[in-house]
Amino acid sequence: MFTHNRWLIAAFYLAISISMPTETLAAEGPALGIELSADEVATADITVMPDGEGLPAGSGTAKAGTGVYVANCKACHGEKGTGGINDTLVGGHGSLTSDRPQKTIGSYWPYATTLFDYVRRAMPYQTPGSLANDDVYAVTAYLLYLNGIIKENKELNADTLAEVKMPNRDNFVWAYSP
Ligand code: HEC
């Protein structure tokens, strides 16, 4: 029965391909998906590499980020990045080698640029992509400041964010040579 069906399907496609010139088939394609506009591609093409490649224009400080955090993040991540219903974002420094390792941005993440990428792409959880780039820079600065990694008035932009060295960076090893 199965083999019989396969022959039927093959015969069907053979019939179509004989009845249509090849160019027509190629032009019509399998009708999967839709072609995206340049704008739509740009909206989805937001990867930021560890070295900062892909960071957009814009800037922000921890001071500006406090308001962004309170309005958009605090409900889930708690006052100052701890004690919320979702992931703890601050603290855990020096805990990774203890019996109770606490992985946070500050204690674990190797690159500050990833924080920008992640927040812009995925947060706030219920409305990802809703923050302006300046707000993402600002809330990134706020979280790095709360983790004791940068000063409160440090301005983060595409250059200065890429220069921030995360405390745990050197404890990662390459699984392969880059
Ligand atoms: C509605 C709740 C909610 C809100 C609001 C929210 N988050 Fe999250 N956040 C989550 C959840 C849930 C996760 C875990 C997601 C996962 O593991 O896939 C998470 C994970 C994260 C992480 C990764 C933590 C880690 O160490 O893995 C960061 C960073 C983060 N959020 C930042 C933010 C920032 C910044 C904002 C505000 C702009 C924000 N979140 C707003 C729910 C929320």
Q: What is the pLDDT of residue 13?
A: 63
pLDDT (tens digit per residue) in 82-96: 999 999 999 999 999
The angle formed by the CA atoms of residues 130, 133 and 136, to the nearest 5 degrees, is 80
CB contact at 8 A, 108 and 83: no
> How close is the Cα of 74 to the center of ligand 1, in Å?
10
How many Å apart are CA 122 and CA 129, to the nearest integer?
A: 7
Closest among 117, 96, 98 to 106, alpha carbons compared? 96
CB contact at 8 A, 121 and 128: yes
All domains in the chain, ordered by first residue? 2-34 (no CATH), 62-171 (1.10.760.10)
Q: What is the pLDDT of residue 22?
A: 59
pLDDT bin (cut points 50, 70, 90) of residue 30 is: confident
Q: What is the pLDDT of residue 21?
A: 59
Q: Is the pLDDT assigned to residue 8 strictly greater than 70?
A: no
Mean pLDDT of 135-161: 98
Backbone dihedral region of 54: left (phi > 0), alpha (psi from -120 to 50 degrees) or beta? left
The protein residue with its alpha carbon nearest to ligand 1, atom 17, reads 87
Q: Specify the pTM.
A: 0.83
> How close is the Cα of 125 to the center of ligand 1, in Å?
6
Please work out whether the CB of residue 105 comes within 6 Å of at least one atom of ligand 1.
yes
Q: What is the pLDDT of residue 25?
A: 58
Q: What is the pLDDT of residue 84?
A: 97
Please work out whether the CB of residue 118 comes within 6 Å of at least one atom of ligand 1.
yes
Mean pLDDT of 48-75: 98
How many Å apart are CA 37 and CA 164, to the nearest integer?
A: 35
Which residue is listed with tokens 């993440």?
A: 109
The angle formed by the CA atoms of residues 97, 98 and 102, to the nearest 5 degrees, is 90
How many CA atoms, within 13 angstroms, populate the side-chain half-sphere of residue 114? Answer: 11
Q: What is the pLDDT of residue 61?
A: 98
